[in-house]
Amino acid sequence: MKIFYAVQATGNGHISRANQIVPILKKYGEVDLLLSGNNYSLKPEFEVKYRSKGISLYYNDCGSVNLGKTIFSKAIFGAIKDARSLTLKDYDIVINDFDFVTSVACSLQKVPSVHFGHQASFRSKNVPRPSKIDPVGELILQHYARAPHHVGLHFKSYDEGIFAPIVKENVSSSKPSTGDYYSIYLPSVDQFCMYQSLKKLNKIKFHWFTHDTKEARQDENIKIMPISDVGFTESLINCKGLITGGGFETPSEALFLGKKLLSVPIKKHYEQQCNSAALKQMGVKILLDPKFDAFDRHIINWIEEDAEVPPLEKADTQNMVEYIVKQRYK
């Protein structure tokens, strides 16, 4: 069987998921991968046959989507060009994890595909949304990676065809402990935005993972580290709690490990707003409009809040891949 698997490379969640999926897919046949986008820091653990710049989201310094740079980027013209040159008719199954290029190529060539991943879950109206619906954001979720079939992932099985999150093996098989520090993973926020606030909390220790540092260093109560899968995973397994964005994979791992969680969704990022609405329903603390110059007060309030960590199950990845492959979606 020939399998085509397209992976969105805005952020690290899609690549992290693919790292778990690809070895299982290879049991069923030959797998060719396309990596679409360039706004990521996690190294793929699989061979990439096709690459496209795709269409990536870009952010301002302090955690807000840069709409001008994203929408008016010339990348959309390159993505359509890549779609026209991508031949998919020879594949037995096309799996698309939220990639615009593959979606357009399938449409042009009339090749059926399955939209797989977290964004695919939003085809269901049962999946939580924020109180204020963003029509543009909703349009993107529904049509950015169009496909005739959908297999979604979310914090809960809100509808048929929506599975629990995929949790990495080194997380699911770990033995978590409670250290003396809190982990921070806010990759869209530059250091200067919240550095002073963290310094004010000089009696609280932090492991702070940022995209704008190359080497780990200790700065009094803050250990500042570059983003890496191994380093962050170890920190997460042994932390007291996690401060992160409104993504999907990282909050899922934190809840699976039973960690106290503070979600700070990226401004103007509709999918993260939706995720935070779901997390809020589960009892997780959400910070929708953070003032980073006063971030210390938000952290103190969160730490002092006595809230139970909602339980979260993980998907049976082997069974999920079998479910996708055996149906073939022809």
| Per-residue pLDDT tens over the stretch 54-76 | 765 555 555 555 555 555 455 67
Residue 116 belongs to a domain with what CATH number? 3.40.50
pLDDT tens per residue, range 272-325: 999 999 999 999 999 987 777 788 999 999 999 988 899 999 999 999 999 998
Give the confidence band of 255 by pLDDT, cuts at 50, 70, 90. Answer: very high
Whether 42 shows a pLDDT value over 80: the answer reads no
CA dihedral 298, 300, 304, 310 (to 10 degrees): 50
Residue 160 sits in the same domain as residue 227: no
Judge if 121 and 203 occupy the same domain.
Answer: no
* Domain identity same for 155 and 173: no
Co-location of 143 and 244 in the same domain:
no
CA Rg value for the chain: 20
Q: Are residues 41 and 174 in the same domain?
A: no
Average pLDDT, the chain: 90
Q: Do 114 and 203 fall within a single domain?
A: no
Residue 310 counted as domain residue: no
Do 162 and 276 belong together in one domain?
no
pLDDT score, position 43: 79
Compute the residue count for the chain: 330
For residue 283, being part of any structural domain is answered with yes
- For 230, counting Cβ atoms within 10 Å of its Cβ (0-12 exposed, 13-18 middle, 19+ buried), the class is exposed
276 within domain boundaries: yes
In a domain, 174, yes or no: yes
- For residues 138 and 186, state if they share a domain: no
Q: Encode pLDDT of 126-168 as tens digits.
A: 999 999 999 989 999 999 999 999 999 999 999 999 999 999 9
Question: What whole-number distance in Å separates Cα of residue 209 and Cα of residue 151?
Answer: 31
The answer to whether residues 157 and 189 belong to one domain is no
Number of domains in the chain: 2
Is the pLDDT assigned to residue 88 strictly greater than 90? yes
Q: Which residues are CB-contacts of 35 (< 8 A; sequence separation ≥ 6)?
A: 7, 9, 15, 44, 48, 50, 51, 52
Average pLDDT over residues 24-36: 95
Nearest-angstrom CA–CA distance, 282 and 124: 18
Contact 299/204 with Cβ under 8 angstroms? yes
HSE value, Cβ hemisphere, 13 Å, CA-based, for 167:
21
Same domain, 61 and 193: no
pLDDT at 70: 52
- Is residue 309 in a domain? no
What's the pLDDT score for residue 64?
Answer: 57
Are 31 and 135 in the same domain? yes
Q: By residue range, what is the domain housing residue 252?
A: 169-304
**CA 63, 168, 91: angle at the middle one, nearest 5?**
95
Q: Are residues 296 and 275 in the same domain?
A: yes
